[in-house]
Amino acid sequence: MEQEEIISGLMQPVPRISPKYFYDQLGSKLFEAITRLPEYYPTRTEKALLEQQAADIKRLVGEVNTVIEPGAGNVEKARMLCQILQPKYFVGVDISAEVLKDGIDRLRHAQPTLDARAVIADLTNRLDLPEDIPMARRLVFYPGSSIGNYDPPQALEWLHRARSWVDATGGLLIGVDLPKEVAVLEAAYDDAAGTTARFNRNILAHVNTVIGSDFDPSQWSHRAFFNPVASRIEMHLQAEEGQRVRWPGGGREFAHGERIHTENSYKYALPVFMTMLREAGFAQVNTWTDERGWYALLYAQP
């Protein structure tokens, strides 16, 4: 299944690899390093917003039974939210088992009265939550502007699914990265220390382990740029030389300079994203933005 998906992507006229393959063990560590880079503003801007607006968030969201975090990663941000909202349950969902389980352990340690669970799942498939988690008063927490890594139709689909995880008493708290000066955006995805370049190249090492290919990551260079028409950062890997890459049962020729598209990161203007939320069945939306207007947290209710 995974193998077929990757090979089919590599065989496209414009070859691509899904960004979900960034997150093997090393990739997850590199992503954590990215979130601490001086150029990568989304994580720290969102954290500061959560801290500054804690009282207002608590007031608006009110009593919450369960916080559900799809793509919870190391559960760093949920810890703060659970402190603010004091839910009974926390359900973290992620494809990366080890990082998630460590994060859940740390959360249990920090908040012993919280019933915290780990669900290992690929979010592109169906999400099955533990059966004893009540339907009432659920809050889906989707921080980090991860919604931006889906193309808009898939992002809308994702919002519809999030709506289906809650009833009329629930809601969605979501982080969205906003459009801003191109130099700021491009630096965030092409940092001076080269961490994002390593993160991007590491996808090839991961692909090698999944499909048995012989990609040489050092033969590929990192490219990241803002596409103003689509309002997204695009990340690509560009072949330094012409080369043939082989895998069991096949292979492909890559020309010098040819690119593999590895990620899009959409930057939504607030009114655009609010329209998507309404389309997905969230009628009431509250927003908080930082003073530079770079990032937004939105609380959406059915």
| Cβ at position 188, least distance to ligand AVI in Å | 7
Bridge partners of 296, per DSSP, are: 176, 289
Rounded CA separation 59/52 (Å): 13
Q: Answer yes or no whether residue 262 interacts with ligand AVI by CB under 6 A.
A: no
Q: Which residues of 130-153 are buried (b: 16+ CB within 10 A; e: fewer)?
A: eeebeeebbbbbbbbbbbbbbebe
Would you say 96 or 196 has its CB closer to ligand AVI?
196
34 is a contact residue toward ligand AVI (CB under 6 A): yes
Interface pick for ligand AVI out of 96, 196, 213, 301 (rule CB under 6 A): 196
Among 53, 96, 146, 213, binds ligand AVI (CB under 6 A): 146
Q: How far apart are CA 195 and CA 31, in angstroms?
A: 8
Residue listed under structure tokens 């070859």: 15
Q: How far is the CB of 53 from ligand AVI (least distance, A)?
A: 20
Residue 227, classified by CB atoms within 10 Å of its CB into exposed (0-12), middle (13-18) or buried (19+), is: exposed
How many CB atoms neighbour CB 77 within 10 A?
20
- Residue 43 contacts ligand AVI per CB under 6 A: no
Angle (deg, nearest 10), helices 25-35 and 41-52: 60
Residue 96 touching ligand AVI (CB under 6 A): no
The reply on whether position 191 binds ligand AVI by CB under 6 A is no
What is residue 240's three-state secondary structure? coil
Q: Is 64 in the site for ligand AVI (CB under 6 A)?
A: no
Residue nearest to ligand AVI (CB): 265
The answer to whether 170 and 280 are in contact (CB under 8 A) is: no
For ligand AVI, which is the closer residue by CB, 39 or 258?
A: 39
Residue 45 interacts with ligand AVI (CB under 6 A): yes or no: no
Compose the 205-244 pattern: x for residues touching ligand AVI by CB under 6 A, - for all others: ----------------------------------------
Does 90 interact with ligand AVI (rule: CB under 6 A)?
Answer: no
Comparing CA positions, the residue from 267, 263, 258, 261 lying closest to residue 296 is 267
Which CB, 9 or 148, lies closer to ligand AVI?
Answer: 148
The contact set with ligand AVI (CB under 6 A) reads 34, 42, 144-146, 148-149, 189, 196, 263, 265
